[in-house]
Amino acid sequence: MAAATRTLGGPVRPRQSRLRPLGPHEVRIAGGFWGEKQALNASSILGHCLHWMERIGWVENFDRVADGTIGAQRHGVEFVDSEVYKLLEAMAWELGRNPTPELERRYEDLVRRVAGAQDPDGYLHTAFGHEGQRGRYSNLEWGHELYCAGHLIQAAVARLRTGHDDLLVDVARRLADHICREFGPRGREAVCGHPEIEPALAEFGRATGEERYGEMAALFIRRRGHRTLRSTLFQGPDYFQDDVPVRDAEVLRGHAVRALYLSSGAVDVASDTGDAALLAAVERQWERTVSRRTYITGGMGSRHENEQFGEDYELPPDRAYSETCAGIASVMLSWRLLLETGEAKYADLIERTLFNNVLASPRGDGRAFFYSNTLHQRALGVELAQDELSERAEASLRAPWFEVSCCPTNVARTLASVGSYFATADDGGVQLHQFGDLDIATQTGEGQTVRLRVRTRYPEDGLVTIVVDEEAEFTLAIRIPPWARGLASAEHDGEALAVAGDYLTLRRRFGAGSTVRLSLPMAARLVWPSPRIDATRGTVAVERGPRVLCLESVDFPDGVPFEDLEIDPGQPLRSEGSDTAVSLRVRQLDEPDGLPYGRRPEVRSDGSLDARLTPYADWANRGPSRMRVWIPAVIRTA
């Protein structure tokens, strides 16, 4: 196994960008909130994913290809290969973060089994191209061959970026070379129905130094939007983002994960080719999508049908799809835009999405997951057997595994690499975009070595302490979350600092032991939806720090009519430590005679009660419950 230290870095490393991302060798999560999440991933989620994929035959598929017996014996839908590859990526990041002999053994065994299924010309997929199967690339709309290849290539990028050029990287090189031959300028003029190959090839080109991989990614981006994919009665060209070229679109549309992966690849291509117009197009699409098609949790995708975006302001909480994978893809896109522009709004959305949408997926023990993420559960969830495969769970309790289990492995690779989203560097200094217990050791473009220790109890507490471990002159920039702007305070070695704008920026020579303390206000606050969102008109939500809070029925006595609870926005919210409570009242309405419509109803109060609010990401960890994020507000009448 040869070291490849020149390729060290995180999931994204542009050749040139306004901000340089720090890899796992430069920033490490040292404990605290995110340390607990990474420990859960290492101790539970990785093994859980491997157990299920072994149990139901998804790994065995590779063995059957290798021994020539695959035929009709293949297990799972066409794209389950990608789950094995995402698990390999998670293992690679985890081995770079905290290597253990047992994880190394599991990783190497899995890589050998995958490599055994690769054809001599580099092609690799267990559902096509073998005796008794459909031909290669015979169903680009739904076959997911290039999508799966993209996830394998991204796993190889993780291995390279953590300092290893091994068998997995060799498999990825041969597969990428095959794709370049098959789909290059003199090959098939086609694209994959599910984008993913685009960011994968761009990053693989950066990690290996092979220009042809990035050029192939750019060619796939240029081909998209010319209606080459076959539509169906229920999936038009917009579902595949094949209706208009990427640079001409005004908003993200269609299947949410596909749209976000494609946009991530477009930013990669724009960055590497200096295509300012393409970058501006994606920025424009992000802006409108966030302002009109994104849930308060950062979730994206409001329609269960086709897992897709709705129209502007179509954001029903009780029918939110808000797929976990779409949240992860949103983080991927926002991170790339942050690196290119340095604008805080992208880091703001990353924080919102990670704390609420993404972390809602895994159960507290890391052995069950949400696929979609409703914001309003009307009925009690159903207890699911923990040893049975589930159909795609749309909104109930978390399931141990799904027939389509893209989300658990996506969570695994994200948590294993999440530290890479926290900080960046540039010529003059270091930028801190997210808060956690971090150890940072890097160099600025000016050649200054910067060593920082960041410690905090965030999101429980708003105090963030940054200690400079080695004397150096540099600029330290610390993001101020939008809810704290104008309210945060800070000091440097006891001297009060003025805090204004998106970032607190300090340029000075810091001595060893020099300390910056940032204090963020953590009082709970009411949040009102846009009046254009019909489904939430007349309601309010509650946030504390970066977390969206919710009401959960397990916190109420039996017999309380959960759907008739309402909040008086004029009454103060109460916080005790990290707990937040609200005073609610119970609406009393006359039951309708006939249709539930008529004259304006008379609303009476049937008493009041105090209620504890739960962080949305933690809901359904205490058994079946009803839940709502948006709480009806008391209507004042003259």
Q: Which residues are catalytic?
A: 307, 406
User: Within a 10 A sphere around the Cβ of 564, how many other Cβ atoms?
Assistant: 15
From residue 249, give the alpha-carbon distance in Å to each of 225, 253, 282, 327: 9, 9, 8, 21
Q: Give Cβ neighbours of residue 257 (< 8 Å, ≥ 6 apart).
A: 194, 301, 307, 323, 325, 326, 329, 406
User: Within a 10 A sphere around the Cβ of 380, how many other Cβ atoms?
Assistant: 15
Which helix (H) or strand (E) segment is 472 a member of? strand 472-479
Instruction: Report the alpha-carbon distance of residue 295 to residue 318 in Å, rounded.
Output: 12
Which helix (H) or strand (E) segment is 175 a member of? helix 167-183
Instruction: Report the alpha-carbon distance of residue 412 to residue 410 in Å, rounded.
Output: 5
Instruction: Report the alpha-carbon distance of residue 165 to residue 25 in Å, rounded.
Output: 16
Does residue 45 come out as left (phi exceeding 0), alpha (psi in the -120 to 50 range) or beta?
alpha
Closest CA to 29 of 37, 21, 40: 37
Let me know the angle formed at the C-alpha of 142 by 139 and 143, rounded to the nearest 5 degrees. 60
**CB burial class (10 A; 0-12, 13-18, 19+) of residue 210?**
middle
Closest CA to 42 of 83, 85, 100: 100
From residue 346, give the alpha-carbon distance in Å to each of 236, 255, 351, 555: 30, 21, 9, 35
- Name the strands in the sheet holding 20-21, side by side, starting at the edge strand that comes first in the sequence: 20-21, 423-425, 429-432, 472-479, 503-510
Does residue 274 come out as left (phi exceeding 0), alpha (psi in the -120 to 50 range) or beta?
left
Paired sense of beta strands 489-492 and 495-497, if any: antiparallel
Question: What are the backbone angles phi and psi of residue 358, rounded to the nearest 5°?
Answer: -70, -45
From residue 34, give the alpha-carbon distance in Å to each of 37, 86, 103, 454: 5, 20, 21, 12
Q: What is the DSSP string of 546-575?
A: TEEEEEEGGGS-TT--GGGEEE-TTSPPEE
- Name the strands in the sheet holding 495-497, side by side, starting at the edge strand that comes first in the sequence: 27-31, 437-443, 449-456, 463-468, 515-519, 489-492, 495-497
Contact 584, 567 (CB under 8 A): yes
Closest CA to 281 of 254, 309, 249: 249
Closest CA to 297 of 352, 363, 224: 352
Helices 256-273, 197-208: axis angle to 10 degrees equals 30
